[in-house]
Structure 1
Amino acid sequence: MSETQLPGLWPWLGGGDPGPETRRWVQYEDGTLGRITTTQRGEPVLARPGRLLTQGEYDVLLTAMRAAHDERVAALKAADAARQVRAYRDLVSAGISEATARQLSGYTGPGGPP
């Protein structure tokens, strides 16, 4: 198959060369971030709706996204730890042995009812 039989597959077939490799940053409409590398000349066509960002904008959004993630994980861990303490206390109060209460609740804190 010759290059002329493959129209549109490779923009550089038929005489042109690919452009230099460039990195672009994007925020998609669902809020996710991405980095894309392209050899396409001009503005890249995004695979799904979104907007191109500067690297600075991307870095600010990524930092904020990571901070929000870390806060969410910390809140989930704190809620889980509180749930374990409550379950442990309830089990011990119901007359379940400490060892069994620990196993059932997942509580690993200091001995005795907290």
Structure 2
Amino acid sequence: MSEHTLYYRNANGSVSRVVTSLDADDIRVQGGTVQITEAEYQEAYAEIQRVNEEGKTELATADRERHVEDYEALRAAGIPEATARRLSGYTSDGDM
């Protein structure tokens, strides 16, 4: 029997694909998992990737803001610039 790909939406909203030579009826899946089409899988996967990228961007922005705040607080406390940059992780060459 030749291999083929089956696509599933899991109960938690994630999606998965299985490359198998078994029939779909012979595949054991967790409760709440349903078989979907490749197009549904691709659409859901793209949305999951988009949300993940959005989350990474938000985390990077928050991290950058924290570095700037830490740097500014250290400079306000009289810490030399090079030391403040090193301690805070602030790396921008822009004016503060």
TM above 0.5, yes or no, is yes
**Paired residues of 1:38 and 1:44 also in contact (CA < 8 A):** no
Which 10-residue stretch deviates more, 76-85 or 24-33?
24-33
Matched, 1:28 2:15: no
Larger radius of gyration: 1
Alpha-carbon distance between aligned partners in 1 of 2:52 and 2:74, rounded to the nearest angstrom:
33
Deviation at 1:97, TM superposition (A): 0.8
Alignment of 1:1-114 (within 5 A): 19-49=1-31, 50-110=33-93, 114=96
Report the residue type matching 1:34 in the other structure: S
Query: Relative CO higher for 1 or 2, CA cutoff 8 Å, sep ≥ 6?
Result: 2
RMSD: 1.5
**How many corresponding residue pairs?**
95
Report the residue type matching 1:60 in the other structure: E
Indicate the structure with greater helix content: 2
Alpha-carbon distance between aligned partners in 2 of 1:37 and 1:84, rounded to the nearest angstrom:
45
**So what's the TM-score if we normalise by structure 2?**
0.89
Closer/same/farther in 2, CA of residues 70 and 24 from structure 1, 3 Å limit? same
Q: Which residue of 2 aligns with 1:10?
A: none
What is the DSSP-based 3-state SS (H/G/I as helix, E as strand, rest coil) of the residue aligned with 2:93? Answer: coil
Deviation at 1:67, TM superposition (A): 0.4
Q: Percent identity?
A: 31
Closer/same/farther in 2, CA of residues 110 and 95 from structure 1, 3 Å limit? same
